[in-house]
Amino acid sequence: MKLVRYGAKGAEKPGLLDAEGRVRDLSGHVADISGTCLTRAGLAVLRALDPARLPLVEGTPQQDLRLGACVGGVGKFLAVGLNYADHAAEAGMEVPTEPILFTKWTNCIAGPDDDLALPPDSAATDWEVELGIVIGDGGRDIPQDQADRHIAGYCVINDISERDWQLRRGGTWDKGKGYDGFGPLGPWLVTVDEIPDPCALRLWLEVDGHRFQDGTTATMVFGPQEIVAYASRFTTLHPGDVIATGTPPGVGMGATPPVYLRRGQVMRLGIEGLGQQRQRVV
């Protein structure tokens, strides 16, 4: 299934994408694409529905029908740094021997095509296309060989990052990662049954039509199962939590000289099987 949240900001409704790419309303069955509807039991209820019998939502998604972040009510938004060996090399950093975990504050979550407002003090706002994990069944100290049972699905994430505040202004990475709008999710949450191998997906990102990132999840240092198991050692994961898994090379910080976002530019990014995003910088 491809699950979506559609409508105006702050008033999104739950839906699913039918075989023709149209949105069908799920409001009669779930309050939101969040929490317990993403557990194995919750998804089983949604799979049993006949999309043709669900109300058809007017409009074409990502054209005249706005999509919100594909997960609502996110409790934790975790992320993994330097999880592609070739990205670590372009950043001039060592390949980690354990996942580098940090957090993106949930206020950063945005729709896949919402405008990105540059922070007023931004000097080095950068892009990062990433595979996102959405937790289904929660848990703590999850064994790696059981981690698949705790993943509801996957989505596209743009882990937007202000590099000055992330790396050069003291403290943790979180300051440069958590600005409003710095975590677009979607366009849809694709359930695990539709993604047989999350470590074999092409992902890319363009700015004003120039392709900066063009990689594959096959070069991740730590795969989704290892990331879920590792993260659950330090915090209980809950249904609807999101984990960004790192980015391939091609970020603006890695260019010579570095290239950062400017007002008026447009980012386009996507992951094979998971859809595309578009953000205009304002």
Q: Does this model's pTM top 0.85? A: yes
Question: Residue 191: which CATH number?
Answer: 3.90.850.10
Q: Is residue 210 part of a domain?
A: yes
For CA atoms 121, 123, 124, 126, give the dihedral sign.
positive
- pLDDT by position in tens, the chain (length 282): 999 999 999 999 999 999 999 999 999 999 999 999 999 999 999 999 999 999 999 999 999 999 999 999 999 999 999 999 877 777 777 888 999 999 999 999 999 999 999 999 888 999 999 999 999 999 999 999 999 999 999 999 999 999 998 888 777 788 899 999 999 999 999 999 999 999 999 999 999 999 999 999 999 999 999 999 999 999 999 999 999 999 999 999 999 999 999 999 999 999 999 999 999 999
In contact, 192 and 39? CB cutoff 8 Å: no
pLDDT at 145: 97
pLDDT at 12: 98
Q: Is residue 254 part of a domain?
A: yes
Residue 37: what are its φ and ψ, rounded to 5°? -70, -10
Q: Is residue 231 part of a domain?
A: yes
Give the integer Cα–Cα distance in Å for 172 and 244. 17
Q: Is residue 263 part of a domain?
A: yes
Q: How far is CA 62 from the centre of its chain?
A: 16
Q: Is residue 74 part of a domain?
A: yes
Number of structural domains found in the chain: 1
Nearest CA-CA partner of 205 in 269, 278, 126? 269
pLDDT at 88: 75
Residue 76: give the domain boundaries. Answer: 70-280
Q: Is residue 23 part of a domain?
A: no
- In residues, how long is the chain? 282
Q: Is residue 7 part of a domain?
A: no
Q: Within 13 Å and on the Cβ side, how many CA atoms surround 101? A: 16
